[in-house]
Amino acid sequence: MPVTESVNIAMMLAESGIIDNAVHELMMRPQLIVAAESNPGIKSAMKNQIMKWRGQVQQRVTKVSVETRFQREIELYQEASQWDPEYFAEHVEAIVKKMEGHSSFYFKAKSLLDGDHQKHNPMFQNYFCNQWYQALSKSLTEAQQTELEQHKEKLLADLYQRIETMQQMQEVTEAGDEKKAGRLWDMAKAKLTRGDVDSMKSIASFLKKNNGLQEIAEKLGRMANEVDDPNKERVRAEDLKMVEERSDSVTDDIVGVHESDDLSRLLPNEAMFLAYPELEVVFYKHLVDKRLMNYRVQGAQRKLRRVKAYKRQTKQVEQDKGPFIVCIDASGSMNGFPEQCAKALAYGLMQIALAEERDCYVIMFSTQQITYELTKQDGLSEVLNFLSYSFHGGTDLGQVLDQSIELMSGEKYKNADLVVLSDFIAPSQSDAMMKRINKLKEHKNRFHAVNLSKYGNPELMSIFDHCWSYHPSQLGRLLKWR
């Protein structure tokens, strides 16, 4: 059968307002209103999530009609409604028998057939099919409503979970700007335990007390705007410009003749109808019908328009910032204070990435590599897994640099910041590796190093654009924690 009937029924029901009513009911929940009003970023992120859910659930609800339980009945309905009355009277009992067990109209259909004389009534087919259509529509509406309620309960559970997680995160991080709060909402799908919150509070406290690490993180966040770029001052901007447009209302040139009702451009011979009383009515009829012969004119008029063009700015323009790729040496030599520093600095970079709408990837490397995407949808789970990782094994810097270079060669990692946190107790890299790194530097990718040891290899660290050393003495650390 043509699919249009089932699709039309489904779309009619899906667009009947039940989805909009569900969205309105969701947005009026007191808990959601309180959460939304607490921060504009959360409000925007919550609204985007609900609107995305609306589109998804509308597609799902529309598909209810093509499920097995309705598809066969819709086929039967369309088949029966197209029969001629005599054929319908002969085969209607067989149709009703096929409804048994899966149609809500079955018992009503049997009762309509009880009066045998009704089957031969010329209007019986129309009445029967009309009653069937109404029953089918009702069943579809109920099925869609049930489907909608199931999806709504899942969404509510997710929203309440995010609100709970955001409240727990208030203990960990100070209230940030709108973008940061909005992205944190996107990451807040994970359910946090008391231990998870304590773990993040501990690392946030460590970062705050070691303000040298925080300064390094903030400096790294500004690096993307400090790259020399000859095109940096050329930006796409709108400007008002006078342009000429062709117009039929400007009388520059006569370009022809056409039918119209414009008396100011009337051909002289048309006015002759007014000279004779018996033809005057013809003139007015042509005027009403817009059939008077008029001169066609055309010209150009000048208008102010907003035109997009590239123009030079007198001040520097911020460039799009790529993601952070944070490579952390997870070897056994990093145990203790260096490990805490590495985790705290990665956590600080994640906070900056949230505020600047950047991505943040962490690659733990030793004898093997583990990747965490800290800013994705379930990013808080990734953060917790990252913070709980224990450092062990040896150092293989070459392998992680090779992987990072492969990533930065793609369009997604354009203008990225690669940050390597290590004690750099490792051999120097090959000339081939140096050539690959220098090629990426030419495309605005930056390479940074944070040395967490006094014994790092200077030649190895020379391959980076910027290198910070952070290894305060034990006495200095004790004074910080007083």
Instruction: Encode pLDDT of 194-238 as tens digits.
Output: 888 888 888 888 888 888 888 888 888 877 665 544 444 445 555
Average pLDDT of 115-137?
A: 79
Instruction: Encode pLDDT of 443-455 as tens digits.
Output: 778 899 999 888 8
pLDDT of residue 421: 92
pLDDT of residue 62: 67
pLDDT of residue 53: 87
Burial of 128 (0-12, 13-18, 19+ CB in 10 A): buried
| Closest by CA position to 303, among listed 237, 238, 245 | 245
Q: For residue 240, list its beta bridge partners.
A: 306
Instruction: Give the domain ranges of the chain.
Output: 1-189, 208-227+318-480, 234-312
Contact 307, 243 (CB under 8 A): yes
Reported as a pLDDT band with limits 50, 70 and 90, residue 97 is: confident
Average pLDDT of 257-271?
A: 87
Q: What is the mean pLDDT of the chain?
A: 79
Average pLDDT of 92-104?
A: 83
pLDDT at 463 over 60: yes
Reported as a pLDDT band with limits 50, 70 and 90, residue 106 is: confident
Contact 172, 47 (CB under 8 A): no
Instruction: Encode pLDDT of 408-437 as tens digits.
Output: 888 888 788 899 998 888 888 888 888 888
Contact 417, 220 (CB under 8 A): yes
CA distance 285 to 278: 13
Instruction: Encode pLDDT of 300-327 as tens digits.
Output: 766 656 655 555 544 444 556 788 899 9
Instruction: Encode pLDDT of 156-197 as tens digits.
Output: 988 888 888 888 887 777 655 666 777 788 787 778 888 888
pLDDT above 90 as % of the chain: 2
Q: Which two tokens stand for residue 204?
A: 């946030």
CA distance 410 to 338: 31
pLDDT of residue 9: 52
pLDDT at 277 over 70: yes
pLDDT of residue 76: 84
pLDDT of residue 196: 85
Q: Which two tokens stand for residue 284?
A: 């007015």
Give first-to-last CA distance, the chain, whole Å. Answer: 80
pLDDT of residue 482: 33
Average pLDDT of 111-139?
A: 79
Give domain 208-227+318-480's CATH architecture.
3-Layer(aba) Sandwich (3.40)
pLDDT of residue 11: 45
